[in-house]
Amino acid sequence: MNQSSSVYKIRIFLVLGALCLSSSVAVGSELIPVPEFTNHDVPITLPSNPDSPIWEWLNVGLLVIALSLASYLAIVSRSRRGLFALAVASLLWFGFARGGCVCAIGAVQNVTLGMFDSSYAIPWTVIAIFVLPLVYTLFFGRTFCAAVCPLGAIQEVVAVRPVRVPSWLDHSLGLVPYIYLGLAILYAATGTAFIICRYDPFVAMFRMSGNVNMLIFGGSILLLGVFIGRPYCRYLCPYGAILGVLSKGSKWHGRIAPETCIQCHLCENSCPYGAIATPTRPIHKSERVKARGRLAKSLLSVPVLIICGVLVGLLLKTPLSKLDADVRLAERIIQEDAGEVEGMTDASEAFRNTGQPTSALIERAIGQRELFGWLGMALGGWVGLVVGVKFVTLSIRRRRVDYEPDRARCVSCARCYWYCPGEHVRQGLVGDVSQLVSIETTGDPR
């Protein structure tokens, strides 16, 4: 009897508990109604609308005006102040207002992809932004670098305590932009990535947003630029490498002294970019024979360096292909299937959800890796050619009687004008350069 009453009590408690629970749920559902999603429209993510063509063509028009003005200020009026003011204006418009895009430096990749991929439609405005600085450089030297490029302008502004970089280090680091150019073309041609844009040190600053690592990288470049003039332009910029080659054959280029060079070497001391070529001294006949021998050895080394570069490039096909999306995904899928890694990445999970066969992905990856093998050899040959030409260039002895700008490295910033005593005479600040003799000894003509 007692046992059956205990069972009844338990059953009663269970029934009461269930009633309380159901009533609490009912009350809760009344207080917090369940949202109804039946008629809810799922939002669709759409890419942002591109800028109006009017803005793009306005950008091209302003680029033409800025290039013309920079060329006039660098060659005709020889105005350092005018170039600096134009650089600040270019920084504000092409940099901060336009977000640093589209720029001529990054357009290298658009043009490359357009040449290798017929399905890629490159806008005419991007072609114009890429070509216009090249055309102006053929006529007037690197006036684009002087005061139009926002990347050069922001470095020009912070170059307040520049020091001279040792010549051997300057020439060695000066090869990097050509290698970077080769890599950028390789990855753009394969549609892998636009590495110039991805690793642009200043675009995050211009847009005041972006990857923290790139902000730190850009800040480090600017901090370095306080003491080393334009480190990105001189040792990284791939577009600057092209402009440097074209500038060597420019029809007109600013000369340091407006009339006669008095060889005070103030221009050489003032240039933070090591872009002033000094007068040469006559050499003895025996030294001339040695110089010809060095030139011959340099010329013979060019094909050897190209062959070595091709062989090294062949070994780089695997590391070069690591940046390709299909190659990375195929490697991950193979590792997951072999149990070498745990879990899935977002990319591998998305691929598996598509139901595509793994064999097709692996086949594409193998094809891409073979392609990178050929392109790696081309890149290696390019690097060998660049190094060989540098050796030949350094072996050639050119006769100079005055201080002259090195057209390939000179960015037409006009600092040398500012320090030239002859320029002070031209501007009417002094009557004769002899009045600057005491100033010359102090090294500060201001």
Give the tens place of pLDDT for each residue, 379-388. Answer: 999 999 999 9
Q: 113 in a domain, yes or no?
A: yes
Last residue of a domain, one of 395, 423, 441: 395
Q: How many domains does the chain have?
A: 2
Decide if pLDDT at 375 tops 50: yes
How confident is the prediction for the chain on average, in pLDDT?
A: 87
Say how far apart CA 141 and CA 250 lie, in whole Å: 6
Decide if pLDDT at 352 tops 70: yes
DSSP 278: P
Q: Are residues 244 and 324 in the same domain?
A: no
Q: Are residues 181 and 216 in the same domain?
A: yes
Contact 390, 173 (CB under 8 A): no
26-40, 72-86, 330-344, 362-376: least confident range: 26-40
DSSP string, 60-116: HHHHHHHHHHHHIIIIIS--HHHHHHHHHHHIIIIIIITTT-S-HHHHHHHHHHHHH
Decide if pLDDT at 405 tops 80: yes
> What token pair was written down for 155?
């470095």
Decide if pLDDT at 354 tops 80: yes
Decide if pLDDT at 439 tops 80: no
Q: 177 in a domain, yes or no?
A: yes
Q: Are residues 192 and 301 in the same domain?
A: no
Q: Would you call 136 helix, strand, or coil by DSSP?
A: helix
**Amino acid 428: pLDDT:** 85
Share of the chain above pLDDT 90, in %: 67
Average pLDDT (199-218) is 90
Give the tens place of pLDDT for each residue, 245-272. Answer: 999 999 999 899 888 888 888 999 899 9
Exposure string of 202-233, with b = 16+ CB inside 10 Å and e = fewer, is bbbbbeeeeeeebbebbeebbebbeebbbbbb
Q: Are residues 144 and 275 in the same domain?
A: yes
Decide if pLDDT at 42 tops 90: no
**Amino acid 41: pLDDT:** 67
Give the tens place of pLDDT for each residue, 216-248. Answer: 999 999 999 999 999 999 999 999 999 999 999
Say what the pTM is.
0.83
Contact 376, 320 (CB under 8 A): yes
Half-sphere exposure of 160 (CA within 13 A, CB side): 4
Range of the domain at 200: 53-279+407-432
Average pLDDT (432-436) is 73
Q: Are residues 350 and 241 in the same domain?
A: no
Place of tokens 């269970």: 14
Q: 13 in a domain, yes or no?
A: no
Q: Are residues 338 and 383 in the same domain?
A: yes
Give the alpha-carbon dihedral of 96, 74, 266, 433, to 10 degrees: -140
**Amino acid 89: pLDDT:** 96
Q: Are residues 183 and 158 in the same domain?
A: yes
Q: 227 in a domain, yes or no?
A: yes
Give the tens place of pLDDT for each residue, 278-289. Answer: 998 888 888 889
